[in-house]
Amino acid sequence: MSKLQPMLFTTVKNYSKKLFFSDLIAGIIVSIIALPLSIALAISSGVSPEQGLYTAIIAGFVISFLGGSRVQIGGPTGAFMLIVFGIVAEFGINGLITATIMGGIILMLFGLCKLGSIIKFIPYPITTGFTSGIAITIFSSQIKDLFGLNISEVPVEFIGKWKTYFLAFNTINYEAVLIGVVALIIIIIWPKVNRKIPGTLIAIIITTLIVSIFSLDVDTIGSKFGNLSSSLPKPKLPSFSFATIRMLIGPAFTIAILGGVESLLSAVVSDGMIGSKHRSNMELVAQGAANVASGVFGGIPATGAIARTVSNINSGGRTPVSGIVHALSLLVILVTLMPLAKLIPLATLASVLVVVAYNMSSWREFKELFKAPKSDVFVLLITFTITVLIDLVVAIELGMVLAAILFMKRMSDVSYIKEKSLDATEDDQKDVETHINAPKGVQIYEINGPFFFGAADKFMETIYNVSKPTKIIIIRMRYVPAMDATALIAFKRFIKMCRGRNLTILISGINEQPLTVLRKANLYEEIGCEHFFISIGEAICEACQLLEDK
């Protein structure tokens, strides 16, 4: 069970000067990586650049301070871009802040209810499908700035967006394309030169200098947003109304699920890299608190960022202190250097997000999943398609429903009921050492696999074919790990049918969970405790004795 104690409180017990300097350097490096990403993600989400930094500072600090991972770095991520843009378009900034706070509260409830392990069971085809879909959406959203297209307003819908792009391609700005390409080349090549200094920072510095020195006709943050604030806003709660809350409950749950899944996935990845074990429930509580705090300070949804967390580890970060340093470093940058951010070309930020989209696309995993069962491929493609063409909320909801239905179908497929012969077989010899033939009047049925609703129908179909000479039915349940309510109803119908035909029921090898279900339904007493046996051999002996008595 994941305990509710922040990892920071555990790691500081044996903290050292060496660890501090390692965390300090890692935190500063990660803040440099987070700076352009936070600004770019904010702009592409339909909010101001400052809101991305507010999120990275406030949420990043809370996630590291309260989190259940040693090295998690929190902040805005590409996964939220689509949902944030949609909320802002429909409900405005006030609606976004409300949804962010609501999502944070839901996440905290997930953690307090100890759902940290359950939330990780979302099927892989679903997470890959919507992650790849989000990557395509992020890429699509950057075309305007990457090519400097003259478009007053870009549609939200994927198809409408590309129609607008094609119609406006005659307005392409070749200077913006040049800046975007230069930025892309630097980001891709720079890691081969130096892995310590982020390529995104170098790309921003060089392209900003090029645009400023040569006075290129390229849109910048300043030309689009004007002067930027260099201070944190005062905490403020949005105006709540029951009508707004009711409308935003769906997006809020999406924020919570996305935040929970991505943060726990990031924590699992980091565990493997540093040989640690995160506290999943505490991580969810921290993520929830971070989103509430982010909303209160005017930020956007946040979660654990896998790329920044990996960079933190590779830079030497080993405790939550590195994440705290990352947040404080961003605060210093906000206060001292924010006015300079208005010079950054939008084409450069578009290039940054194109690289983010590529890294997020999981195209190798997407390709590998085509080797999986057809049902998984179906879930993957449906989730991906709906994420891109319709809506992320609908994609997750439908993906989960499809995955649940297919899971139930698989459980039904692996469960079967067969009539057993009493001629000695290798399995039977494990239970009974005698070689006997089935006495007349005794019929044995064996249930294999989970006894759920799919198997319940099979069970009744098989039982209804009981031959007339049968006087005793033995139900062998040694391979039934669990049964559900539908199977219980089928069992009741089975007992009623046996009574109508004057048949005796014997049960052998029943496991604990099915036995508990029968006890709670009073079927254990109705069948008779003397009719339950540990092995098939005991049940057979009892059946023979009952036949003699009859």
Q: The CATH number of the domain where 501 resides is what? A: 3.30.750.24
pLDDT higher than threshold 80 for residue 337: yes
Position of tokens 């961003």?
330
Residue 383 within a domain: no
In 301-358, the DSSP E strands lie at 303-304
pLDDT score at 432: 43
336 and 450 inside one domain: no
pLDDT digits (tens, 9 = 90+) for 413-424: 666 566 664 433
pLDDT higher than threshold 50 for residue 75: yes
Which of 371, 405, 431 is the C-terminal boundary of a domain?
Answer: 371
What share of the chain has pLDDT > 90, as a percent?
A: 46
243 and 321 inside one domain: yes
pLDDT confidence tier of residue 120, bands split at 50, 70 and 90: low
**Mean pLDDT value across residues 210-226:** 92
Give the separation between CA 43 and CA 272, rounded to whole angstroms.
33
Indicate the average pLDDT of the chain: 87
69 and 185 inside one domain: yes
Which of 314, 348, 371 is the C-terminal boundary of a domain?
Answer: 371
362 and 435 inside one domain: no
pLDDT digits (tens, 9 = 90+) for 519-548: 998 999 999 999 999 988 888 888 888 888
- Give the pairing of strands 74-75 and 416-420: unpaired
Residue 388 within a domain: no
**Mean pLDDT value across residues 463-474:** 78
194 and 91 inside one domain: yes
453 and 536 inside one domain: yes
Residue 544 within a domain: yes
**Mean pLDDT value across residues 40-55:** 92
339 and 480 inside one domain: no
Check if the beta carbon of residue 424 is closer than 8 Å to that of residue 396.
no
305 and 177 inside one domain: yes
Structural domain span for residue 280 = 17-371
329 and 431 inside one domain: no
**CA proximity to 290, closest of 522, 468, 58, 97:** 58
Residue 384 within a domain: no
Residue 403 within a domain: no
423 and 355 inside one domain: no
Residue 423 within a domain: yes
Residues 6+ apart with CB under 8 A from 284: 68, 107, 108, 110, 111, 115, 116, 119, 260, 263, 264
Range with the poorest average pLDDT among 76-80, 220-224, 383-387, 413-417: 413-417
Give the separation between CA 9 and CA 15, rounded to whole angstroms.
10
**Mean pLDDT value across residues 250-255:** 91
Residue 201 within a domain: yes
- Looking at the structure of the chain, the number of domains it has is 2
Burial 308-338 (b: 16+ CB within 10 A, else e): bbbbbbebbbbbbbbbbbbbbbbbebbeeeb
239 and 316 inside one domain: yes
Residue 410 within a domain: no
pLDDT higher than threshold 90 for residue 213: yes
Check if the beta carbon of residue 99 is closer than 8 Å to that of residue 107.
no
Which of 371, 405, 430 is the C-terminal boundary of a domain?
Answer: 371
425 and 350 inside one domain: no
